[in-house]
Amino acid sequence: MEVTINLNGTPETHEVEPRLLLVHFIREKAGLRGTHWGCDTSNCGTCVVWLDGKPVKSCTVLAAMADGRSVRTVEGLEQGGQLDPVQEGFMECHGLQCGFCTPGMLMTARALLDDNPDPTETEIREAISGQLCRCTGYENIVRSVRWAAEKEQGGPVTESETPAEVTA
C-alpha cells in the first residue's frame, strides 16, 4: 500500500507492507536515523516521535495509521540551524551518555515543556518515566530539562557542573 506522511514538514510517500511499523518507515523508507528502535514492545521509549503533535512510541504505531498525518522526529527539533533549547540543555548538562535513549528523551522533554513551561523535578521525572536510560541515573537528564525550561523563560541558565565522579 502507498503511505504518505508529512515528516518534519516534508511529505514522504513510499510503498509499504500494511504491517510496517512507523519506526521502520522513518528509519528505512525515509532514511532518518535519529529515531532509534529499541524493543518493539513500547517499554524503552527510544522511538518516541510526535504524531499530530502528540508523543507516541513509534514501535507501536503502524505506518499506515500515520498516512496523511504529521510526524515530527528528533531531526525536526533543530529549526533554521538553531538547536532546540532541550538539545542545548542535554549538551550543557551532560544529559546523555551512550545516546541511545536520547532521541526519545528529547522528544518527550520537548512535549513536556510545550505543555508545561516550568515543570518541577517531579513533573519532569513523571514525564520521562516511560523512557529507559541504561547509562545514567536520570539526574543529568532532569537537570537538562530544567536548564531548557529556564532558558526558554529567560531565567538564570548556569553552566553545567562536572560530575564529582569524573573529577575524582
Report, as an integer, the average pLDDT of 114-142.
Answer: 94
CA neighbor of 43 nearest in space, from 140, 129, 111, 106: 129
Q: Which three cell numbers stand for residue 66?
A: 500515520
pLDDT of residue 72 exceeding 60: yes
Report, as an integer, the average pLDDT of 131-139.
Answer: 88
pLDDT of residue 157 exceeding 70: no
Q: Which percentage of the chain shows pLDDT scores above 70?
A: 92
Give this prediction's pTM.
0.89
Residue owning grid cell 551532560: 94
**Domains in the chain, start-ordered, CATH in brackets?**
2-76 (3.10.20.30), 85-155 (1.10.150.120)
Q: Answer for the pair 97, 135: CB distance below 8 angstroms, yes or no.
A: yes
User: pLDDT-derived band of residue 40, with 50, 70 and 90 as boundaries?
Assistant: confident
Across all residues in the chain, what is the average pLDDT? 92
Residue 156: predicted pLDDT: 67
